[in-house]
Structure 1
Amino acid sequence: MSFPDLTADLAARMPELRGRLLANQPLAPLTWFRVGGPAQVLYTPADEDDLGYFLARLPEEIPVTVVGLGSNLIVRDGGVAGVVVRLARGFSDIEVEEGHRLRVGAAVPDVKLARAAADAGIAGLAFYRGIPGGIGGALRMNAGAHHGETKDRLIEARAVDRQGRLHVLSNADFGFSYRHSGVAADLIFTRALFQGEPGETADILAEMDRITAAREASQPIREKTGGSTFKNPPGQKAWQLVDAAGCRGLARGGAQVSQMHCNFLINTGGATAADIEELGEEVRRRVKSGSGITLEWEIKRIGVPAPGATP
């Protein structure tokens, strides 16, 4: 499937644009599941100013979708209409600041934040070693693992809105809750400032090694997966509910519930996005039928189904 090419018109509207515009760019290679259709336009901004310039001149009727490292994402097989924004090199800086703080770009992988903190002798951020994805996604969903959450360490973040205006948001502005922030959906995060505490590099690295070992022992991290599929309901563990519903190993097409950790869906090879999403919905139906509990997706799903597929 392909969309009408908008890039020439957009480039004409934005003669000073420095970022890159690509028409009908495949998104599957940018996701951990390795599935999904193309972006009508994939825009990679040069930096924060370029992003603001682009958004201020983008026609209002063209939708904007932001993707990060693609670790917690299903792109549907029909692709994503409008503009998909993906931050890259211009948002990958890491700066150590006084007071055991780190200022990082939104495209920085979580693991790189953890490593930079360790190298600087900054404790309190090692939990990011256990989170797949990037800082922008961590801000959007209050990512957390191993007894740490983004809300515990964030001081402030910068973001650009749909009209190209810059905002500086405090921790309180986020309205953080479990795997959620209340920030307006149109804001695109560009940088964030995190607070750590004094620590010894060797101790921090040892903690990161423990986190790595725990993940490798309990999660299918070497598979094509999207991480945790469903949020934990209050007082419950999603994986236990999935297991109790008899869904461990359940398959649809090339998609399967992981045998190792049944809150993970995996692409065993040749899966479509529809296979993965339909499998997730079947798991939700079985859990609801058996326990009365409705599981909420943690994985973000974007785009449209392929022509003829079930929405």
Structure 2
Amino acid sequence: MSFPPLDIDLAGLRGRLTPNFALDAITWFRVGGPAQALFQPADEDDLALFLERLADDIPVLVVGVGSNLLVRDGGIAGVVIRLSAKGFGSAVAEAGDRIRVGTALPDKRVAAFALEQGLSGFAFYHGIPGGMGGALRMNAGANGGETRQRLVEVRAVDRKGRRHVLSNADMGFTYRHTAAPDDLIFTEAVFQGEPADPAVIKAAMDEVEAHRERAQPIREKTGGSTFKNPPGESAWKLIDAAGCRGLRIGGAQVSEMHCNFLINTGGATAHDLELLGETVRARVFATSGIRLDWEIKRLGLPLLGGAVEPFLGT
């Protein structure tokens, strides 16, 4: 499938626009259709100019490292923006035990940079396979830590190209969610650390890594945790109790190692993965009465006749 070209004025822009970009190349599941156009801005100024100039009727979507993302087989209409490591991947130490990082920086690199600065409070990022933009949008957390516990402020650009600075309170963080407007593209964030012995920080990071090695299928084509944990429950335990460990549809499978992970065993389509996820939701509801909510972001268009209806009407 391919999309028609978009009419976009690129004069004066320094970033790269690629029509019909194959998104399966940058998502961890390795599935999905193309983006009508992929724009990679050179820096925040370039991003702001692009958005200011872009016609209002052209949809815009931001993707990061592609780890918590399921792109449907028909692809994504409009412009997909992906922030580059060169323009948005910096990390700088600031006074007061703070660090300023670009939102294209991988979470794991934030943990490593904090270790270099002798700052604790970031070891949990060592086990999250994503980028800082997604961490801010989802209040990413693991091993007892969450993004909201460390954030001071965020820089962002809106759909009109206007700049914003948001405080921690402005972000409206809740579990795996932020109330910040959907059209904001986060570009940079400041975090508060606490001085600590680097050996203690490194030990905490090593434990996070060991836990991932023991419990998660990190060498598979997966998107990370599939469903949010319901209040007072563990999603994987509910899935296991519903008999879904190892369940397969096409090339998609519920991981045998950790059944809150879906994996592409080879040849899976986005349709296979989404249908498997909805089947899991239905079985969990039938056995426990609990509705699982997707944590993985499902985006884009299905192929003709390939839409997956939510099993629970949600």
Please give the range of the TM-score, normalised by the shorter of the 2 chains.
Answer: over 0.9
1:199 corresponds to 2:196: yes
Matched, 1:82 2:78: yes
Q: Which residue matches 1:72? A: 68
- Within 1, Cα distance between the matches of 2:288 and 2:19? 46
State whether structure 2 residue 113 is matched by structure 1 residue 116.
yes
Alignment of 1:26 with 2:4, yes or no, is no
Aligned to 2:161: 164
* Corresponding position of 2:5: 5
Unaligned runs of 5+ in 2: 309-314
State how far apart, in whole Å, the 2-side matches of 1:198 and 1:204 are.
Answer: 10
Question: Is residue 295 of structure 2 the alignment partner of residue 298 of structure 1?
Answer: yes
SS, match of residue 169 in structure 1: strand
**Residue 278 of structure 1: SS of its match in structure 2?**
helix
Give the corresponding residue for 2:311. none
The secondary structure found in structure 1 opposite 2:183 is coil
Distance (Å, rounded) in 1 between the aligned partners of 2:307 and 2:200: 51
RMSD over aligned CA atoms reads 0.7
State the match for 2:37 in structure 1: 41
Residue of structure 2 equivalent to 1:131: 128
Superposed displacement of residue 308, structure 1: 2.9
- The reply on whether 1:95 has 2:92 as its aligned counterpart is yes
User: Matched residues in 2 for 1:81 and 1:53: separation?
Assistant: 21
Work out whether 1:251 is the aligned partner of 2:248: yes
How many residues end up aligned between the 2 structures?
307
3-state SS of 1:77 partner: coil
Is 2:93 the counterpart of 1:105? Answer: no
Instruction: Report the Cα distance in structure 2 between the residues aligned to 1:82 and 1:126, rounded to whole angstroms.
Output: 37
Aligned amino acid, residue 269 of structure 2: T
- State the alpha-carbon separation in 2 of the partners of residues 78 and 14 from structure 1: 26
1:179 counterpart residue number: 176
In 1: Cα distance, 2:198 partner to 2:46 partner? 37
C-alpha distance after superposition, 1:205-239 (max 9, x if no partner): 12111110011100101110000000001111100
Output the TM-score relative to the length of structure 2. 0.97
Sequence identity percentage = 66
Matched position secondary structure for 1:173: helix
Alpha-carbon distance between aligned partners in 2 of 1:31 and 1:206, rounded to the nearest angstrom: 31
**TM-score where L is the length of structure 1:** 0.98
